Chain A
Amino acid sequence: MCKDYVYDKDIEQIAKEEQGEALKLQASTSTEVSHQQYSMPGLGEKYPTWETTKPELELLGHNPRRRRIASSFTIGLRGLINLGNTCFMNCIVQALTHTPILRDFFLSDRHRCEMPSPELCLVCEMSSLFRELYSGNPSPHVPYKLLHLVWIHARHLAGYRQQDAHEFLIAALDVLHRHCKGDDAGKAASNSNHCNCIIDQIFTGGLQSDVTCQACHGVSTTIDPCWDISLDLPGSCTSFWPMSPGRESSVNGESHIPGITTLTDCLRRFTRPEHLGSSAKIKCGSCQSYQESTKQLTMNKLPVVACFHFKRFEHSAKQRRKITTYISFPLELDMTPFMASSKESRMNGQLQLPTNSGNDENKYSLFAVVNHQGTLESGHYTSFIRHHKDQWFKCDDAVITKASIKDVLDSEGYLLFYHKQVLEHESEKVKEVNTQAY
């Protein structure tokens, strides 16, 4: 007997099961905090790391040349050919293919096609795109199939002309979401609360709208699903900036220069209580009368990937122009002050959080920026993509070059993509393992 330790699969399996049982017992007997839905990781269920199976091991053994996504290697980066005014599409593709959680989903081959004809499935095409972009091939990819599918499934986008990247993003997410469920014709209402597709898991947040009756102070709350947050900018006809920009010191470590508006300023404005005015009286449910009211928007549920859209293209009755005001945005963002749960503390003036609040669950990291150069009528989109921590690259259609963090933060910013730093379990749903994203 060699006295070496042995690992027997069956025994391990039994041990795992027993352990799981024990943990469950532990969770149910602990005192429940009634209003909190989440369970602390480790107490409810145990999520083991993925392990290879025997046949996978053999396969891997036969193929010793493996590729890793590691810093200083080009694996994961690839240019995209402009098919004729399709720079807007290329930027969104770069942003989506560098979304860590989406990347993990597709590269681990988790898409099961539900569509009646897979050639028309946009999710399958997405999957293929990931394979192409992570192949290590230096020659730029030609996304003609993607264009074709998008034109077929989102007719309003079809046509050879310059288009808006944000509009493309929303349309693409919508088609992907429908195709995840195998729905070709778009019959099902989009964003139903019961959808559990990967798009909804990642991008869908809950925007809470509270309308407070001025008379009886009764609050009527609605929560709408949203895929992005569109922010008004100072200087637009429709915007109203009651506070001077940069008045409160930077919550999120943004470069705070007086006179420069920050993303946090925009968010603050977005979530401020707004008096609706006497021309827009609503019928209050509790006091049954038409009253003036205030409305406030906050985030009820934060998505894993938050997309912020600066409304730079103004189409008002007076004029059509592009607002080029520089907005400063941070590498890391804490969304806690903009949550519905923080409304109380905000009203009391406690907007600022201590920098190390210890609560990481609302913290985000920037991973993609889409920029537009030019005018309303004609311009060009480029994007900055974060490939590794502190490693950024500029994607200009077919040309990818290294970029500095300063380049990224100094850019004008049109679409900003932030990824949650810590992902949580939801015990009822089958989810990914709790990962530290960065």
Chain B
Amino acid sequence: MKMEEMSLSGLDNSKLEAIAQEIYADLVEDSCLGFCFEVHRAVKCGYFFLDDTDPESMKDFEIVDQPGLDIFGQVFNQWKSKECVCPNCSRSIAASRFAPHLEKCLGMGRNSSRIANRRIANSNNMNKSESDQEDNDDINDNDWSYGSEKKAKKRKSDKLWYLPFQNPNSPRRSKSLKHKNGELSNSDPFKYNNSTGISYETLGPEELRSLLTTQCGVISEHTKKMCTRSLRCPQHTDEQRRAVRIYFLGPSAVLPEVESSLDNDSFDMTDSQALISRLQWDGSSDLSPSDSGSSKTSENQGWGLGTNSSESRKTKKKKSHLSLVGTASSLGSNKKKKPKPPAPPTPSIYDDIN
């Protein structure tokens, strides 16, 4: 049949239908055959099985949809113990604390630059032992466990001793000085040690002297400020401390004997008053702040030693040392090193002070 020559309009319905059927059948056959060939080819070439999975093992991966469980059937919040290895320092860190650790590790945190500055000052020393010591700030950091056992204990005992001055929960002593020179930035009261130093330019000689009897005082090369840490501050050596005192107070300056944060050798009476005014002894009005002009009561508020017995124990020790304040004054301001004075009975303090 020559399709080209025939005109479709000339055909009757049944013939049209037959043609339509034929075309339809052809199409269906082609597509079926095409599909068959696809499968046949897949089997022949060996990739037909690729789609299969192993139904048995797939059962392990079925999604669970029950309250209190995640899709794997696990209970929530059991992942506290996950750990990872820090790429920077290669230590094993708890996963949920990794971000704060990494911040310090890479030196990006608020305190890290300060820590770095200390280290720079440190590395200028020949003293090897100090350069090994970790920064005290990290003691408060739970995950900084590097050699922390011994140091933490050591620091803790120091902490107890120094508590009236450097209570971690209270503003720093330097805050009273801050009032004076107004230069200190607001340090984080919850860090153990002070975050900023003291700018010594604005301090008078009396202030300096009293400062140097209780604080490390070593001038940071970076910030040109004095270190406000204790006399046993590990970032600086005794040589440095001596040098600072000689620089400020003359060649006869001597490093105070350090047994407590309070050193009594070089106090003037006025200084002692000022010093006492900065302390708050159980909030006792016995030592009401004398108005030396350099301190304010408001500064002392945060210093409350609280009322728990452990603190009062410490204050007793404090008081015992302070008692020498009065007596020391009679010695004038000579800076001779004195042996640690024996602790007089407590009541004597009040006698001296009042």
Contacts and interface: CB of A to CB of B under 8 A. Distances in A.
B243 to A, nearest CB: 37
B79 A400 contact: no
Contact of A401 (B53, B71, B86, B106): B71
Contacts, number: 119
Interface of B: 37, 40-41, 44-47, 49-50, 52-54, 57-58, 60-63, 65, 70-74, 76-77, 79, 82-88, 95-100, 102-103, 106, 108-109
Contacts of A67: 53, 58, 61
A140 to B, nearest CB: 6
Interface in A47-101: 51-52, 57, 60-61, 64-68, 72-75, 77, 79, 81-86
A151 B97 CA distance: 16
21 contacts: A7-B41, A7-B45, A57-B45, A64-B52, A66-B54, A67-B58, A73-B63, A74-B61, A74-B63, A81-B95, A85-B99, A136-B60, A142-B95, A144-B84, A144-B86, A144-B87, A144-B102, A145-B87, A147-B99, A147-B102, A159-B109
A60 B54 CA distance: 13
Contacts of A57: 45-47
B98 A144 contact: yes
A160 B93 CA distance: 15
Contacts of A5: 37, 40, 44
A19 to B, nearest CB: 15
A400 B70 contact: yes
Given A73-B61, A399-B70, A160 B47 contact: no
A365 to B, nearest CB: 21
Contacts of A144: 84-87, 95, 98, 102
B82 A140 contact: yes
A66 B61 contact: no
A84 B101 CA distance: 9
4 nearest A-B pairs in the assembled complex, by CB-CB distance: A84-B99, A138-B72, A160-B103, A83-B98
A183 B203 CA distance: 53
Interface string A127-142: 0000000001011101
A402 interface: yes
A383 to B, nearest CB: 14
Chain A interface bracket (under 10, 10 to 19, 20 to 34, 35 or more): 35 or more
Contacts of A22: none
Interface of A: 5-7, 51-52, 57, 60-61, 64-68, 72-75, 77, 79, 81-86, 136, 138-140, 142, 144-145, 147-148, 151, 158-160, 393, 398-402
Contacts of A60: 50
Nearest to A79: B70
Nearest to B47: A52
Given A144-B95, A151-B106, A84 B100 contact: yes
A83 B97 CA distance: 6
Contacts of A393: 71
Given A84-B99, A147-B102, A148-B88, A138 B74 contact: yes
Contacts of A68: 53, 58
Contacts of B97: 83-84
Contacts of A139: 79
> Which of A68, A84, A140, A145 has the most B CB atoms < 10 Å from its CB?
A84
B79 A66 contact: no
Given A60-B50, A144-B95, A402-B63, A7 B44 contact: yes
A117 B226 CA distance: 43
Contacts of B70: 79, 399-401
A284 to B, nearest CB: 49
B108 A159 contact: yes
